[in-house]
């Protein structure tokens, strides 16, 4: 079992860019686009406890701002256990992190994100 604590420098700029794009889209009231960037950030950050928790906080904030009760309630347990699962390496790979998907369901990773993740594995 591999324990992850720090996001590799090769992934961090892509993760940060997804969060920035989520904020920019939200500010323009492009909520669907904003959410998609949060999901992409979740996929990149999921193996790393701090980033995984951070993106769930942002998802919770998104749910609060758009007054989506299902998302708010869905993010609370994800916040409580997501980072811990990352720390011990027990994550459902590719899961997009929203309340609209089962929290333990592995999902297919988009090709561009898979390339970023796989490049890190070969370094």
Interval 71-86 mean pLDDT: 92
pTM: 0.93
Domain definitions of the chain by residue range: 12-122
Which secondary structure element, helix H or strand E, spans residue 51, and what is its range?
Answer: helix 49-65
pLDDT number for residue 123: 54
Whether 116 and 44 have beta carbons less than 8 Å apart is answered as: yes
Q: What DSSP line would sit under 64-104, residue for residue?
A: HHTT-HHHHHHHHHHHHHHHHHHHTT---TT---STTS-TT
Q: What is the pLDDT of residue 111?
A: 97
Find the mean pLDDT for residues 44-53.
Answer: 94
Which pLDDT band, with edges at 50, 70 and 90, does 120 fall under?
A: confident
**Mean pLDDT (the chain, rounded):** 93
Is residue 97 scored above 70 in pLDDT? yes
């Amino acid at each position: 079992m591999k324990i992850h604590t720090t996001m590799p420098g090769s992934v961090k700029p892509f993760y940060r860019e997804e969060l920035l794009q989520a904020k920019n889209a939200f500010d323009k009231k492009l909520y669907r686009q904003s959410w998609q960037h949060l999901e992409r950030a979740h996929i990149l950050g999921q193996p790393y406890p701090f980033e995984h928790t951070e993106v769930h906080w942002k998802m919770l904030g998104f749910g609060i701002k758009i007054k989506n009760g299902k998302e708010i309630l869905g993010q609370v347990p994800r916040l409580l256990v997501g980072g811990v699962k990352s720390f011990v390496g027990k994550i459902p790979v590719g899961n997009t992190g929203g309340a609209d998907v089962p929290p333990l369901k592995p999902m297919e990773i988009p090709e561009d994100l898979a390339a970023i993740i796989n490049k890190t594995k070969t370094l």
